[in-house]
Structure 1
């Protein structure tokens, strides 16, 4: 018989169910993205197969069993939200757990229950991550309980069999014994599948063991990068590189080498980067952007796409740097200029260097043929007006900047 649910609990549940659904959707999107990235960077094969909000009747039933009040049930029950991830192999489980641990800004793992190393008496095997989602709510951070289950295909098969076929409300002892035997047999299959995976994933002993006709993989690309540039590639750059190569329909290591050896494209993209931000591409940027060009409809369109990306990225970088570096108001900026123009000592010299960095961020500093810095005073006034958007005495600001230019630049 269903237990009657208190109105206080139902009202509380209904007040939060939209927030729960919104956060569950966001978590699904995040985890699907991260699983896709893991597939390319580490070869992890997994999919998110289930996401749900626990029904109010089930939450209340568990709350009564554990002795939680109506007001505290939603915060105390550990699986108000639930996610299930199924992966191919045992080694994938560790990659997935590490991935979730890295999402510290949003997901906090409170407890890891390992029923893989220590199966339950009934044969159940899985990893349960008891987490909370950190959600801003009315000027505070609210923690929403969420349980993330991670299983292999074989473990998930056992879970479905035991739930749908083997168990009733009062299973006979024989059924429990059979269930455990099935669990152990499926665990053996997991172990054998992992051995196959380990054998297939054995790395080449040396980078030069990679052959031109070898098919693409994240591991081979990482080796190739190490061989060519004597450096490690960051995993997210590796992910982007692999993604664009797939779009470009590159199939072998030879295809990648041909892209990397395109010196004319390298020169063109370096010049584009220098025009936008003042310095050329580093090695990891080059491998990603040359693949981006190859993935486009033609080279001209691809170069334009890289240019647009660099401009957007640089605008974001400078915007953040300006917000963190510049004084909060134009009045504060003018006061700093006035101080360094009037006083000349060690402290004001340091302050002047900081102001020079402001103008550099605003794009108003250049160098002449001899490497001497030049300040575009007119451009500086315009950039400050655009940045602060306040009513500014342009004549006074121009006078302060020109005096600063004469004294320090």
Structure 2
């Protein structure tokens, strides 16, 4: 390989690196948003609807394979136009209602543009798959420009996530040629996971009702302090009196 070819390869490599980095930065932006929402909810409600998050970037090899399947031109602009899930974020919740809370909170972010919503909870896939998918555009601020980058956000319960992980492993093992009997068992498992989600949701509401019925005295003591970053702060009586008068 001569020096000209090496220089051309360097230029191409740098272009691909910049292209992939903008998706990485978009994930960083939205993960920061999720962390802020998580901490805010925990501080105000002593509860967070977000159990954990997991992000991923498609590899250049996976991107190329998908582009070829779609019949797109081999170019970075074609990749950007045809493939919308290069950057992906999965948010796992405890309860189904949490999924819609998080979706609402994200859709209210003024700098996010929601391009598409696919509700596989209200309308599960034939194989039993359930999840809520949001396709959003995230602004990424560079030194000389702002780019809007697509991120696919999947929001699901722990039970939905467990089922999806198991289903993926089975399909990978069988190279997507899964026996019909196993497909039926997978669908039954999806129905069972959904029933568990509904039952746990009901238990959650019952526990919350018991908590809400606690005595006023215990609630009053609890309201005299706040917790920020796992540290408890007692609220000064004078501050409480002044702010109460302003209400």
* Fold shared per TM-score above 0.5: yes
Query: 1:289-332 deviations in whole A, cap 9, x for unaligned?
Result: xxxxxxxxxxxxxxxxxxxxxxxxxxxxxxxxxxxxxxxxxxxx
Between the two proteins, the alignment pairs up a number of residues equal to 233
Tell me, what secondary structure is at the counterpart of 1:146?
strand
Tell me how far apart the structure 1 counterparts of residues 114 and 12 of structure 2 sit (CA, whole Å).
26
Task: For residue 155 of structure 1, report the CA deviation from its aligned partner.
Answer: 0.2
Aligned counterpart in structure 1 of residue 148 of structure 2, from 143, 148, 156: 143
Deviations 1:69-92 (A, max 9, x none): 223212431111110100000110
2:4 corresponds to: none
Residue 55 of structure 1 pairs with residue 59 of structure 2: yes
Match of 2:227 in 1: 243
1:190 aligns with 2:182: no
CA drift at 1:103: 1.7
TM-score, normalization: structure 1? 0.50
Contact kept? 1:154, 1:190, Cα under 8 Å: yes
Cα distance in 1 for residues equivalent to 2:78 and 2:57:
17
When the two structures are superposed, what TM-score results if normalisation uses the length of structure 2?
Answer: 0.79
**What is the CA RMSD across the aligned residues, in angstroms?**
3.4
Are 1:85 and 1:151, in contact at CA under 8 Å, matched by a contact in 2? yes
Q: Please tell me whether the aligned partners of residues 25 and 140 of structure 2 are also in contact (alpha carbons under 8 angstroms).
A: no
Question: What's the CA shift string for 1:115-156, capped at 9, x where partnerless?
Answer: 011111111110111111122457553221110110101001
Distance 1:63 1:166 in 2: 21
Counterpart contact for 1:75–1:145, Cα < 8 Å: no
Alignment of 1:2-401 (within 5 A): 12-42=15-45, 43-69=47-73, 70=75, 71-105=77-111, 107-137=112-142, 140-165=145-170, 168-169=174-175, 170-202=177-209, 210-214=215-219, 221=223, 242-244=226-228, 247-248=231-232, 259=235, 262-263=237-238, 282-283=243-244
Displacement of 1:68: 2.4
Cα distance change of structure 1 residues 46 and 84 upon mapping to structure 2, 3 Å threshold: same
Q: Which protein is richer in helix relative to its size?
A: 1
For 1:284 and 1:108, the matched residues in 2 are separated by 41
C-alpha distance in 1, partners of 2:61/2:94? 34
Secondary structure in structure 2 of the residue aligned to 1:27: helix
Q: 1:30: Cα distance to partner? A: 2.3
Counterparts of 1:173 and 1:9, CA distance in 2: 46
**Kept in 1: contact 2:26–2:151 (CA 8 A):** no
Q: 1:93 to 1:284 in 2, by over 3 A?
A: farther
User: If each structure's strand is expressed as a fraction of its own residues, which one has the higher value?
Assistant: 2
Q: Report deviation, 1:19.
A: 2.9
Larger Cα-atom Rg: 1
1:32–1:47 CA contact under 8 A, matched in 2: no
Q: Distance in 2 between matches of 1:67 and 1:179?
A: 32
- C-alpha spacing 1:66/1:204, structure 2 compared with 1 (3 Å): same
Task: Extract unaligned runs of 5+ from structure 1.
Answer: 1-6, 225-240, 251-258, 268-280, 287-409
Which ranges of structure 2 fall in alignment gaps of 5 or more residues?
1-8
1-structure distance, mates of 2:245, 2:185: 54
More contact order relative to length (CA 8 Å, sep ≥ 6): 2
SS of 1:248 mapped into structure 2: strand
